[in-house]
Structure 1
Amino acid sequence: MDLFQDLKDRGLIYQHTDEQALRKRLASSPITLYCGFDPTADSLHIGSLLPILILKRFQLAGHKPIALVGGGTGLIGDPSGKVSERVLNPKEIVEEWADKIKAQLSRFLDFERKENPAIIANNYDWLGSLQVIGFLRDIGKNFPLGTMLAKESVETRMSKGISYTEFSYMILQSYDYMKLNELHGCELQVGGSDQWGNITAGIELIRRTTVDQDKEMYGLTMPLVTKSDGVKFGKTEGGAVWLDPAKTSPYKFYQFWLNTDDRDVVKFLKYFTFLSLAEISALADELEREPEKRKAQRTLAAEVTKLVHGQEALLRAEKITNALFGGGLNGLSASEIEEGLSDVPSAELESPEISFVDLLVQAGVVSSKRQARESIENGAIYINDLRYNDLETPVPQLERLDGKYLVVRRGKKNYYLIKFMQ
């Protein structure tokens, strides 16, 4: 397989160093490449998924990826793509987050395979022991100030202000590339399009400091992932979509992809799945013919959820989805009910010894008894998938899911979760 051409056909290449030279190098023998991930939180989010999968694609093609966790650069803060200064986190917190990110990366890259095992590295191992005088003399002198100021990541911040701390980030990332070249023979750095200036700065540093003037280094960036509706990719009403299932449940993760706009789904299938381009083309044709079936979206959601959380989590997410949107709530366990309805209004009631009307008011389903009666009489109230239009329904006789839950729906989409304490 021509990896470079496959990446190009999927729309995954935004910028690159000399194409002919890079293609020739990739075709000649396995290359060692790296991508960095700064620990700015205790989990990566789906904004990091594209570069992770790029490393995975290279590994599957026989190359050797290095996942670099920025335990050192995470203490500084990358100005790329930011309009204001980052908050500097304590060293102990950054160390803890770095360890968690290492564990997450191991779910995607194979560090045990015999042929081309991936490498996990932490740049604090070399940045943490640097001596400032030696670093400025030996490394800093290779960075002309005019060139640094002209880099997009710096230039866009000049009007709003940038500290020397973040200004120096470019030098540290360049030093990472140089160290990985020395330690592991790394010849290619990949990253998001906002990293192009840092990548080319690293290539220039290696050129200036190496004794081998014929050494060629390479860089490649991916496009910024955008959504056709103008909403930032990876954001929902509840915030960022995380790779940690404790922060974004597999069900919510699945729903995020399932709700992909028709205009984006084919692009995302190319970006985030390992389906062949022929398979994706067939899904695109089905989308054109029968968009109401949303087969492309269901395939995307299934593929990415399985990739990130595994087959068991995918089956659970599909089960919850089918129960909530296709009926069958009685088949859900307590944990599945809580996961699927974690973001809907909920209420805890001490006793079921109240009227059906009072139940709806106390749970916040309606605002008044009058509205409750009207909704019931109009057939707009559903309890555990069943329509209730009897004002005299005894609440104690309502069947509770898992012995303690009632799922109330008003109209087509307004869900409420009621939990009885006894």
Structure 2
Amino acid sequence: MTTYQSSLLDLLSSRDYIHQATDREGLDALAAREVVTGYVGFDATAPSLHVGSLVQIMLLRRLQQAGHRPIVVMGGGTTKVGDPSGKDESRQLLDAAGIEANIASIRKVFERFLRFDGSETGAIMVNNDEWLGSLNYLDLLREVGPHFTINRMLTFDSVKLRLEREQPLTFLEFNYMILQAYDFRELHARYGCRLQMGGSDQWGNICNGVELTRRMGGAEELFGVTTPLITTAEGKKMGKTAQGAVWLNADQLSAYDYWQFWRNTADADVIRFLKLFTDVPLEEIERLSNLSGQDINEAKIVLANATTAMLHGETAAKDAAETARRTFEEGASDANLPSLSTGGEIGIMAALTGLGFCASNGEAKRKIKEGAVKLDDTVVSDPQLLVTVAGDPVKLSLGKKKHGLLTA
């Protein structure tokens, strides 16, 4: 195992964050002698980020924990264009008001993970529309255009994917990589930023930013780091479930459902996820890694408690854990379970899809026929059942792990 002189590289390496780096030794030396300012960019295409963005949020958290300054770059400008990376088709473009509302909503999540203050290592959040929105097109072409070749841009995975699948790639999206590279140049000029971080799908864009900033008079020592693509043991993209995205904002996903997402982690993923997504000490993670059989559930509960406490607070994590315990061990209903207002009555299939337990009526019907659905612990056999809720909430269960309340 490589020995590093800086606490930053030591921390990132020990918790398995590093996939690629432009100059690992140079970054290690810089981080050992001074405070490094680094950034990660995030889309503002929705009111909330989801778990798929969490490894990048944790990367900024690790940067600050190691004594350096994180910059959260919200893509108010680049969201107007759309990142083609990993996409088969163009995104719907948002107006300025929608983008601003999304950024305000997303900021609340970052305040749970980072310390925002005026200190040398205090996190800052910026909107790249501050500089991209005022760019003159002709000036951009003259200033930046000579540093990019179409030959090289066509080699990027984000471009090749579309072309190979004969999917349209608009000229608007083709410019995204130029704008992202320009971000690094501006952040270096405004904040002395020396490091850009991101997922492995951003490697080409990050290298572009490093190179462009150097060519346009930036410091010689500029760096890029990417994390590995985070997939589950089944090979699925992190944060995607049959019920949709696992959102980080509480108004889009309850603390209980968030806790359950982590509690249901596959055995093969739990130790890796403890390293990446929690502050649980490595010594404790090592102990948990030696558990086997049913005992591995202890590690899953540690993971669920730690991740939920970090995002929603200790009280919410404890409430979620207690709700799960009472529901699974005692069969009790609890006010902390996800709920669905029925207006007095609802079809059983609509209830299952409304709570997010099933992705479609077809799936709901199949689960009912399998005997996996219960109302107040009584098996439901009729897919056309109309559930009446007059007084107390009715508990709806799918299998042993999904429980919710139907309210009037």
Q: Which of 339, 342, 348 matches 2:344?
A: 348
C-alpha displacement at 1:405, in angstroms?
Answer: 2.3
**Are residue 407 (structure 1) and residue 403 (structure 2) matched?**
no
1:136 and 1:410 map into 2 onto residues whose CA distance is 57
After superposition, the Cα gap between the structure-2 partners of 1:418 and 1:153, relative to the gap in structure 1 and judged at 3 Å, is closer
Aligned to 1:124: 129
**Are residue 309 (structure 1) and residue 300 (structure 2) matched?**
no
Aligned to 2:64: 59
Give the partner amino acid of 2:22: T
1:270-326 residue CA offsets vs partner (Å, 9 max, x unmatched): 11111222111100112x3x4345011000000000011111211221122112111
After superposition, the Cα gap between the structure-2 partners of 1:280 and 1:413, relative to the gap in structure 1 and judged at 3 Å, is closer
SS at match of 2:208: helix
TM superposition score normalised by structure 1: 0.81
1:28 and 1:234 map into 2 onto residues whose CA distance is 37
Say if 2:115 and 2:123, in contact at 8 Å, map to a contact too. yes
SS at match of 2:113: coil
2:136 and 2:24 map into 1 onto residues whose CA distance is 38
Q: Which of 295, 300, 306 matches 1:297?
A: 300
C-alpha displacement at 1:414, in angstroms?
Answer: 8.6
**Are residue 187 (structure 1) and residue 190 (structure 2) matched?**
no
Aligned to 2:382: none
Q: Which has the larger radius of gyration?
A: 1
1:154-303 matched pairs, under 5 angstroms:
154-159=159-164, 160-210=167-217, 215-286=220-291, 288=292, 290-292=293-295, 294-303=297-306
2:222 and 2:127 map into 1 onto residues whose CA distance is 21
After superposition, the Cα gap between the structure-2 partners of 1:410 and 1:46, relative to the gap in structure 1 and judged at 3 Å, is closer
**Are residue 136 (structure 1) and residue 141 (structure 2) matched?**
yes
Give the partner amino acid of 1:404: D
1:117-171 residue CA offsets vs partner (Å, 9 max, x unmatched): 1111000011111111111111122111111112222222223231111110011
Give the partner amino acid of 1:174: A
1:145-199 residue CA offsets vs partner (Å, 9 max, x unmatched): 1111122222222232311111100110011000000000000000000111000
2:399 and 2:231 map into 1 onto residues whose CA distance is 33
1:83-124 residue CA offsets vs partner (Å, 9 max, x unmatched): 111221222211211222223222211112634111110000
1:383 and 1:14 map into 2 onto residues whose CA distance is 47
2:274 and 2:151 map into 1 onto residues whose CA distance is 41
SS at match of 2:229: coil
C-alpha displacement at 1:412, in angstroms?
Answer: 6.1
Say if 1:170 and 1:198, in contact at 8 Å, map to a contact too. yes
Say if 1:175 and 1:202, in contact at 8 Å, map to a contact too. yes
Moved more, 317-326 or 35-44: 317-326
> Number of residue pairs matched?
371
SS at match of 1:329: coil
Give the partner amino acid of 1:298: I
Aligned to 2:94: 89
Aligned to 2:119: 114
C-alpha displacement at 1:71, in angstroms?
Answer: 0.4
SS at match of 2:232: coil
SS at match of 2:153: helix
Give the partner amino acid of 2:215: R
Say if 2:328 and 2:401, in contact at 8 Å, map to a contact too. no
Structure 2: tracts of 5 or more residues without a match: 1-5, 353-371, 380-388
1:154 and 1:251 map into 2 onto residues whose CA distance is 39
After superposition, the Cα gap between the structure-2 partners of 1:411 and 1:230, relative to the gap in structure 1 and judged at 3 Å, is closer
1:195-248 residue CA offsets vs partner (Å, 9 max, x unmatched): 1100000111112110x6x62110000011011123332112210000011111
Aligned to 1:367: none
Say if 1:69 and 1:101, in contact at 8 Å, map to a contact too. no
Aligned to 2:37: 32
After superposition, the Cα gap between the structure-2 partners of 1:101 and 1:165, relative to the gap in structure 1 and judged at 3 Å, is same
Give the partner amino acid of 1:405: P
Say if 1:329 and 1:384, in contact at 8 Å, map to a contact too. no
1:297 and 1:170 map into 2 onto residues whose CA distance is 39
Identity %: 40
1:299 and 1:153 map into 2 onto residues whose CA distance is 37
After superposition, the Cα gap between the structure-2 partners of 1:406 and 1:119, relative to the gap in structure 1 and judged at 3 Å, is closer
After superposition, the Cα gap between the structure-2 partners of 1:142 and 1:294, relative to the gap in structure 1 and judged at 3 Å, is same
After superposition, the Cα gap between the structure-2 partners of 1:257 and 1:199, relative to the gap in structure 1 and judged at 3 Å, is same
1:381 and 1:78 map into 2 onto residues whose CA distance is 41
Superposed CA RMSD in Å reads: 2.9
Aligned to 1:397: none
After superposition, the Cα gap between the structure-2 partners of 1:83 and 1:414, relative to the gap in structure 1 and judged at 3 Å, is closer
Aligned to 1:20: 25
C-alpha displacement at 1:5, in angstroms?
Answer: 2.5
